[in-house]
Amino acid sequence: MLRLNFLLIAIVLASALGAVASQHKARKLFSELEREQERMRSLEVEWGQLQLEQSTWAAHARIEKIARERLRMKPPAAGQVLAVEAAK
Amino acid sequence: MKFTNSPLLSQLLPAWRARFVAALILLAFGTLAARSVWLQAVHNDFLQQKGESRYARVIEMPATRGRITDRSGDMLAVSTPVKSVWAIPEDARLAPAQARELAALLEMDVRELNRRLAAEKDFVFVKRQIPPDVAERIGALGLPGIHQSREYRRYYPAGEVTSHMLGFTGVEDRGQEGIELAFEGQLAGKPGSRRVIKDRRGRIVEDVESIKPPQDGKDITLALDAKVQYLAFTHLKQALAEHKAKAGGVVVLDARTGEVLALANLPAYNPNNRVRLSGAQLRNRALTDVFEPGSTLKPFTAALALEKGRFRFDSQIQTAPGRLTIGNATIHDAHPHGLLTLAQVIQKSSNVGVAKIAATFSPEEMWRMFDDIGFGQPIRLGFPGEVGGRLRPFKTWRPIEQATMSYGHGISVTLMQLARAYLVFARDGDLIPLSLTRLDSPPVAGKSIFSSQTARELRAMLEMAVQPGGTAPKAQIPGYRVAGKTGTAHKLEGGQYADRYVAAFVGFAPVSEPRLVVAVMIDEPGNGKYYGGEVAAPVFAQVMAGSLRTLGVAPDAPLKPVQVAREAAAVPESL
């Protein structure tokens, strides 16, 4: 009888410790998940900012200015245009 | 006397007194036990809740506002998080040096900062929407009573070019003008919230229950083409500077689908920096301002004449001597012409000719046509402040009014309505609804207004108007066949026609298979020239030429001098 009681106490203790350990593990994993989600959000924000930056650099006004002033480009005059027709 | 010898001790107490005390103590124990059972087992929610609230927190999960892109996916409006600095004035007791440092970082006046912090409130915003890097440096100062919260700010990379089309959002990230307001329901996100348990270091360790996931706003793909929009805006701006005009507008429509490819107004504003905004800058003129369209309405009178079978393309109309008296008013032509065909009446823009044609219609016939092409009622694109213009009921028309309406006076429209009405000629006589968002498939044929025969003949007449002998040779574009009509209208001021003008041009190209409709309106050109053909037609030509090239529309007229490389000829036989 006494031996059985000791055995039961051991089992209960083991299961209690197991519960504690798994709870701890779950929380660690959860906080890791939380961190990754936070990272996802900040990457999304960064993506939006990069898109914004890209469209600011690619603004038509800026491109036109660079093309005209730095690269000295201009639209072709009517006589300089060559139209390519597909063979009929 | 010793205590143990006290006679009191020898007196025996009655036994019930001891039992009574024991019973009382037992009862007290019993009450405690019952209470603890009640708290722990029966009525345990309350305490659990209280306990949880010590470490559980409800976290707001912000939702981002949808992005707005043009038809090819270029970003036109993006929300990105920024910080706002707020303070609890009672806690914010800053040393003068700290206040100076904070004011310098916020680019604020120190006195202004101190004034805000001295407010008798529990909460004041010090400055809203500051860039994240500045926010970080302010956080590093560790000032007492100064806090930060996350907000969203909307950025418009294209700046003033798209200002009227997109509108803007307020500081609370809600749409206030333009597309931002028209599509508020789709763009706005719904913030969510969740309950979590935090440990003592503030880390989230467990979700108690996931309450509401945040719903991000939907992205919107506009019909707008950023390149076409840029062309429209810059050429309009140049024209306004050149002609010292007060205001102007350009609308570009896709003739095949009814999509709005560009909508530009001037004066405009920079939506990213709206410190000083005047009402004039905010006006989305193409939709909210009406003007008397002048001669740009003549083609509709001509089309109705063809449709009713009372005139043919080459019917002759006597416009000499350039004057026509109806009642006690006289209509003049800018230049007197003699005998003209119907097509020439449009080409030369003869008021007398058109008035004579209009005299053959009943007021109801003419009213019905104007009503059918959408005049007098708002287009209902969803923009704030859209107006429908003025089209009075035909029962009140006097003959002189019917005559002036035939050439666009005594009736008022918005630029968008006018552009849309020209879709009827650019297409085969049917009117389709306009769309601000990109359409994946072209709309089915719209409401038929004129027969395709009439539309074809009108296209020929309008092409004549931009050729030598017409009113707008400056609307020509090398490589493409162009058609369109000028308009020059006196402005109404206090019921009187003043010596101020609205110059307009509406047209489409390529004529062989119309792809674009461009409408240009320039308000009060003040540099000598004011005719639509001189002021508005060149803007039309520049915008149309650039747009056709951008969209890769094949030329339908020979370039002069002609340079065509035929594939068959260019490839030598030996290959």
pLDDT confidence of residue A88:
58
* Residue A34 maps to a domain: yes
**Which residues of chain A neighbour B206 with C-beta distances below 8 Å?**
27, 30
pLDDT confidence of residue A44:
86
pLDDT band for B426, please (50, 70, 90 cuts): very high
Q: Is B572's pLDDT higher than 50?
A: no
Instruction: Give the minimum alpha-carbon distance from B221 to chain A in angstroms, rounded to a whole number.
Output: 15
* Residue A20 maps to a domain: yes
pLDDT digit string (tens) for B450-459?
A: 999 999 999 9
Range with lowest mean pLDDT among B21-25, B204-208, B214-218: B204-208
* Residue A67 maps to a domain: yes
- Tokens representing B167 are 């509108």
CA–CA separation, B390 vs B396, rounded Å? 13
**Which residues of chain B neighbour A78 with C-beta distances below 8 Å?**
478-479, 559-560
* Domain span holding position A60: 2-73
Cα B318 → chain centroid:
47
Give Cα separations from B486 to B92, B140, B299, B407 (angstroms): 65, 63, 10, 11
* Residue A88 maps to a domain: no
* Cα B539–Cα B242–Cα A81 angle in degrees, nearest 5: 45
Q: Is B562's pLDDT higher than 50?
A: no
Active-site residue set of B: 295
Which of B70, B136, B564 should we substitute to test contact with A (largest number of A Cβ atoms within 10 Å)? Answer: B564
Instruction: Give the minimum alpha-carbon distance from B70 to chain A in angstroms, rounded to a whole number.
Output: 12
Mean predicted lDDT score pLDDT of chain B: 85
- Residue B267 preceded by cis peptide, ω within 30: yes
pTM (2 d.p.): 0.80
pLDDT confidence of residue B568:
42
3-state helix, strand, coil in chain A (%, to 5): 80, 5, 15
* Residue A19 maps to a domain: yes
CA–CA separation, B6 vs B179, rounded Å? 103
Nearest to B206 among A27, A79, A85 (CB): A27
Instruction: Give the minimum alpha-carbon distance from B372 to chain A in angstroms, rounded to a whole number.
Output: 39
* Residue A61 maps to a domain: yes
CA–CA separation, B334 vs B336, rounded Å? 7
pLDDT digit string (tens) for A17-55?
A: 999 999 999 888 988 888 898 899 889 888 888 888 888
Per the structure, the count of domains in chain A is 1
CA–CA separation, B488 vs B468, rounded Å? 19
* Residue A40 maps to a domain: yes
Rounded to two decimals, the ipTM of the complex is 0.76
Contact A81 B479 (CB under 8 A): yes
pLDDT confidence of residue B515:
93
pLDDT digit string (tens) for B30-75?
A: 999 999 998 888 888 888 887 777 777 777 888 888 889 999 888 8
B66 in Cβ contact with B220 (< 8 Å): yes
